[in-house]
């Protein structure tokens, strides 16, 4: 079974600074998808960024980028120019191919605090 | 496009009762998945429906069931509620269950007393 691990329960960053959230996963599949979701206090899960495993290029969405290391099974999220609105719980998620359908396996989450 | 909607948003039930939660996916999305979120267990997959068929099921007891209608709307039902069923129930939809991301609704917060 696939597992996702986020080893940082909490992180903090100063406004306008850069922060990196870590995620590792375990899988025997060669094709899969990885995601970062953000859950603010409203509890609404918001997709931040996605990465297809077959793509070597790291995904980027404005201030958010990932460092995808397939061999190391590592998928970290970098937030540049942090803003107060970035404060939230961040979840790393894995989605396999084939019979697993759309099923997402989530990590434990990292609570990000942004200090003014 | 309107996002995923879930009703009701909040619910209080007592042990032994049953509850039905509803989810309307984004227009055109045919896959609907349900997740349970608790402080102790985190986010856990309940089941996925695609074209009115359950395609995947997580490791939950048979008290948890669901269905999907021809318009892709989905319901989940929990019978004989237990205190441990108190959680945030999240519904997510995706276009066709393929490689796209899932988009989540605001959730239904269930409290079992």
Q: Does B104 touch chain A (CB under 8 A)?
A: yes
pLDDT at B97: 56
Please give the average per-residue pLDDT across A86-95, as a whole number.
97
Distance from CA of A18 to the nearest CA of B (A): 26
Q: In chain B, what residues touch A36 (CB-CB under 8 Å)?
A: none
Residue A30 confidence (pLDDT): 87
Question: By the CB < 8 Å criterion, does B35 face chain A?
Answer: yes
Indicate yes or no: CB of B33 within 8 angstroms of CB of A103: yes
pLDDT band at A55 (very low <50, low <70, confident <90, very high): confident
Question: Which of A91, A102, A109 comes nearest B97 by C-beta?
Answer: A102
Structure tokens at B17: 């009762």
By CB neighbour count within 10 A (0-12 exposed, 13-18 middle, 19+ buried), where does B102 fall? buried
Given pLDDT bands bounded at 50, 70 and 90, which one contains residue A99? low
At residue B99, the pLDDT reads 64
B11 three-class SS: strand
Subunit contact B104:A45, Cβ cutoff 8 A = yes
Has residue A102 got a pLDDT over 70? yes
Nearest residue on chain B to A31, alpha-carbon basis? B99
Ordered DSSP codes for A1-21? --EEE---SEEEEETTS-EEE
- What CA–CA distance (Å, rounded) separates B24 from A64? 29
DSSP secondary structure string for all residues of B18-49: -EEEEEEPPTT--EEEEEEEETTTEEEEEEEE
**Does residue B63 surpass a pLDDT of 90?**
yes
Residue of A nearest to B6 (CA): A44
Residue-level pLDDT at B81: 97
The rounded mean pLDDT for chain A is 94
Query: CB under 8 Å to B3, separation ≥6 — which residues?
Result: B26, B103, B105
Nearest by CB to residue B33, choosing from A42, A44, A102, is: A102
To the nearest whole angstrom, how far is the Cα of B72 from the nearest Cα of chain A? 15
Cα–Cα distance measured from residue A63 to residue B4, given in angstroms and rounded to the nearest whole number: 25
- Name the token pair of B57: 């099921």
Q: Which two tokens stand for residue B39?
A: 């402080």
> In this prediction, what percent of chain B has a pLDDT beyond 90?
86
Average pLDDT over residues B51-78: 95
Q: Which has more confidence, A54 or A48?
A: A48
DSSP structural state of residue A53: T
CA distance A36 to B32: 19
Distance from CA of B79 to the nearest CA of A (A): 23
Strand ranges, E, within chain B = 5-7, 10-13, 19-24, 31-38, 42-50, 53-57, 64-68, 74-78, 87-94, 103-104, 108-112
């Amino acid at each position: 079974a696939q597992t996702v691990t986020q080893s940082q329960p909490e992180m903090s960053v100063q406004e306008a600074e850069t922060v990196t959230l870590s995620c590792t996963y375990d899988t025997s599949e060669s094709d899969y998808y990885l995601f970062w979701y953000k859950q603010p206090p409203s509890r609404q899960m918001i997709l931040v960024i996605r990465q297809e495993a077959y793509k070597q290029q790291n995904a980027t969405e404005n201030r958010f980028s990932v460092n995808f290391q397939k061999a190391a099974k590592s998928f970290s999220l970098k937030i540049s120019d942090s803003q107060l609105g970035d404060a939230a719980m961040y979840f790393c998620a894995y989605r396999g191919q084939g019979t697993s359908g759309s099923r997402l396996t989530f990590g434990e989450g990292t609570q990000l605090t942004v200090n003014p | 496009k309107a996002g995923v909607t879930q009703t009701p948003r909040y619910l209080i039930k007592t042990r032994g009762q049953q509850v039905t939660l509803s989810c309307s996916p984004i227009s055109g999305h045919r896959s609907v998945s349900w997740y349970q979120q608790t402080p102790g267990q985190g986010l856990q997959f309940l089941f996925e429906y695609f074209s009115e068929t359950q395609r995947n099921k997580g490791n939950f007891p048979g008290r948890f069931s669901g269905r999907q209608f021809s318009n892709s709307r989905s319901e989940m039902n929990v019978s004989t509620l237990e205190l441990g069923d108190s959680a945030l129930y999240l519904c997510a939809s995706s276009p066709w269950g393929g490689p796209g991301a899932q988009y989540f609704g605001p959730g239904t917060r269930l409290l079992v007393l």
